Amino acid sequence: MDFSAAVMTDSSIDTMLGTLLQSAPGLYGGLVVGLQQASQGDTRVFLNSWQAAQGLGVISAELITDVQQLATAHDLPSAFVDALVSIGV
């Protein structure tokens, strides 16, 4: 299972995406596309969309931790994991 598939099966992420689908469908699309690209090594779209979602208040500290753990487990670049932390601070 790649990173995007692992993320999409996480219940807290699924809840957040459901919220975005209703309130910000364009941002939802950016996260979904960004997840696919992150699995291929390009994390820019995901991180930009993630930051925007955080600005809307739908990214909790627990969700950041979940995504960090999944990213580490799937060997995504440390810069990606670090960006999740810096965005969340």
Which residue, among 7, 24, 21, has the nearest Cα to 63 in the 3D structure? 7
The pair of three-digit structure tokens given for residue 33, joined into one six-digit string: 């596309």
> Buried b vs exposed e over 10-24: b needs ≥16 C-beta within 10 Å?
beebeebbeebeeeb
Percent of the chain with pLDDT over 70: 94
**Which pTM was predicted?**
0.78
Q: 């990214």: which residue's tokens?
A: 59
CA–centroid distance for 16 within its chain: 10
49-60 tens-digit pLDDT: 988 998 888 888
CA 86 to CA 89: how far, in whole Å?
Answer: 5
> Is the per-residue pLDDT at 24 higher than 90?
yes
